[in-house]
Each structure stands twice: as C-alpha cells, then as structure tokens.
Structure 1
Amino acid sequence: MFIDLLRLNKNVSILLAVLRVYLGYTWVMAGWGKLTGGQFDASGFLQGALANSTGEHPAVQGWWVVFLENVAIPNVEIFNALVPWGEFLVGIGLLVGCFTKTAVFFGLVMNFSYLFSGTTSTNPQLVLLSMFILVSAMNAGRYGVDGIIIPTLKEKLFANRTREVKNAA
C-alpha cells in the first residue's frame, strides 16, 4: 500500500522531486568541492579506513579491508577520479531527474562504500532518503527529464514490438 503510494501518486511525485533535488544538490556540492578544490586524493581516507579495522571494536570489517588492500589502495589513482566525478554526475542526474533510479543506485553504492570504510557523517541520512527515491520507481522522475524521455522510449519500443509481431505473422 505504501509502496503503491510512492510509485503511483502524482501528489507524492512532487514531494519526491523535492527530495530528489535535495539529494542531487548534496551530491553535486560534494563532487564539485572535490573537482575544484585542487587535486583530490583518497589515500588518506583509505588509510584511515584501514586504521579503523583494528582494535576491540573495529569500525571496518575484515572483508572490506581485503577490498581496500587489494583493489582500492593499489588503484587509488582510479578512485581519485571516480569519486569526485561519480558524486558530481550522480548529483546532476538527481537534480534534473535523468535516469533517476540509476543515479540514486550509484549514490547508494558510494554511501555504503563510505559507511563500510567507517565514516558515518551524513551517509545514513542520504541512504534513508535515497531508498524512498529508489522504491518510488518512475514517480521520482515524473517531474524531470525521465518524465519526458521514458514515456517516449516506451512508446517507440512498443511500436517496434508491434511491427515485429505484424511482420512475423
């Protein structure tokens, strides 16, 4: 019932658009700050995550340490580019409502990566709010680029399928 409200109600889509724009602004500002603030370097963050993996109550789990040590730290240059551009592009996607579900999914991937690395900050709040956007399916992008693109794509796809069925007969 609640999911149907999130997915179908046009009035809720207005609230979701406001929420989507808030999340988009948050991501754009985080990415823009890293892109324009000089050379972004994730090395310190990654080393801090490793430091948080020891002690009586480690904030970082062992399986994530394996990922950090074997993938993230050896390829830190790639992450130095992916993080700021990822944050910025997720933000743009959410701000304009273009490929909203994809943008919010990758935003969640980044949020969980930060959480797995032992950083709380605003990540739990962003995860919670992002879940509403993700569950709402198309309704969050109704008042955005998705509201224009997706119906057109569906119409063309349906027309192509109809033609294929007629040609096959």
Structure 2
Amino acid sequence: MATQEIRLQSTLGGYTATGKLHSLSVWFILALRLMMGIAFFQSGVDKVLSGSFNAAGYLQNAPTANGSPVADLFVTMGETAWFVDFVNIAVPWGEVLIGLGLIVGFMTRLAAFWGAFLMLLFYLGNWDIAHGYINGDFAYMLVFLSVAAFGAGRILGLDARVEQYEVDGQPLVERYPWTRYLLG
C-alpha cells in the first residue's frame, strides 16, 4: 500500500488549522458517502413504496411535544395544506435522490447539501436535549457536510468523470467553475 502524506490547511476568521490525512482516509470518506447514501436511499424508497407518508401529524405535533425552539414554525408548516402536500413529495423523493447521488457519487456536493439541510430540519423537529445538544440528527448533518467538504464524489464516483468531461476543449469544471459547488 502506498503511503502519501496529505496536508490540510484552512484559515477562517484569522485562525489557521492544519492537519495531515492518513492514506486510508480516502476509504473512510468513501464509506461515509456510501453509508449516508444507502441510509437515505432506503429511507426514501420505504416512504415512496408505502404510499402512506404524511408529514402533517409530525409537523403539527412532534416539535411542540419535544420543546423545539422553532415549534411554532413547524406547526404553521403542518397547518398549511399546500406545504404539507409539497413535503409529502419532497421528503421521500428527496431522500431517494440524495441517496442515489451519494451512492453513485454524482452531484455529490449538491446531494450532501440537501441531506445536511434535511438533517438540520430533523434536528430541530426531533429536538431533545436531555442528553445534550448533539444527537444523531446533528451528527449526520456533520457527516453530510464532511462528505461535501472532502469532495467524496471524486472517490470512485461519477463526479470525477463528469468534472473532466471536455467542453470546447476544456474540462467542465474549468469551463464552468460554478459546477464545483455541485460536483465533487
């Protein structure tokens, strides 16, 4: 096994953090991407196939019962018919598409962003700080953000190929730099 030292460095707000990655890190990053992809794909497919997913009861009751700081927002969403209809389609199919994107490594950053967004909503809706502010929903949100930050779609994923697809003789991401926010 080839070992190669990869150094990381980032400056934010005047503070610089540095670190080194182990050569096995790539496999753990891939595992995180696949784990979240399979979990979301399975959850979405279960909801789609059951045909009985309805978010109204959850939106109107769970956040209030949990003492969520944004419970009133969730109740309002749950009492708005068109929004509930939207959520009843967006959540199951969103989970399916996020899962597929992560599994095949296509539009990974976009999929991870929406996965993190859903996990933030689940965190706020499932509010329970009896054991602290960090729970599974919060941890999964950070996993999604890590998958995006590491460009996990480039690891045995389609994003690596799509980024190099040539448009007018240039790789796609050089021709259209904004695509880096979707791919990787």
Residue number among 117, 136, 147 corresponding to 1:109 in the alignment: 117
Contact 1:94 1:100 in 2 (8 A): yes
RMSD after superposition: 3.0
Match of 2:34 in 1: 21
Structure 2 residue 87 is matched with structure 1 residue 79 = yes
Q: After superposition, what is the alpha-carbon deviation per residue over 1:37-72, rounded to whole angstroms, capped at 9, x for unaligned? A: 1321011111223532xxxxx6311xx334324444
Greater fraction helix: 1
Structure 2 residue 137 is matched with structure 1 residue 123 = yes
Structure with larger RCO (C-alpha < 8 A, sep 6+): 1
What is the TM-score of this pair, normalised by structure 1? 0.74
Amino acid in structure 2 at the alignment position of 1:103 = A
**Aligned residues, how many?**
151
Question: Shift in Å at residue 27 of structure 1?
Answer: 0.3
Q: Give the distance between the partners of 1:157 and 1:146, measured in 2 at CA.
A: 10
**Once structures 1 and 2 are overlaid, which stretch shifts more, 97-106 or 111-120?**
111-120
Q: Give the distance between the partners of 1:35 and 1:79, measured in 2 at CA.
A: 12
Question: Shift in Å at residue 135 of structure 1?
Answer: 1.8
Q: Which runs of 5+ in 2 are unaligned?
A: 1-6, 11-17, 129-134, 177-184
Contact 1:72 1:79 in 2 (8 A): no
Greater fraction strand: 2
Amino acid in structure 2 at the alignment position of 1:42 = A
Q: Which runs of 5+ in 1 are unaligned?
A: 53-57, 161-169
Please give the residue correspondences for 1:1-169 in structure 2 after superposition, counting only pairs within 5 Å.
Answer: 1-2=7-8, 11-52=24-65, 59-61=67-69, 64-74=70-80, 75-119=83-127, 122-136=136-150, 138=151, 140-142=152-154, 143-152=156-165, 155-156=171-172, 158=174
Question: Shift in Å at residue 16 of structure 1?
Answer: 1.2
Amino acid in structure 2 at the alignment position of 1:128 = L
Question: Shift in Å at residue 156 of structure 1?
Answer: 4.5
Match of 2:3 in 1: none
Q: Give the distance between the partners of 2:118 and 2:173, measured in 1 at CA.
A: 32
- Change in CA separation of 1:82 and 1:23 when aligned onto 2, cut-off 3 Å: same
What is the TM-score of this pair, normalised by structure 2? 0.69
Amino acid in structure 2 at the alignment position of 1:21 = L
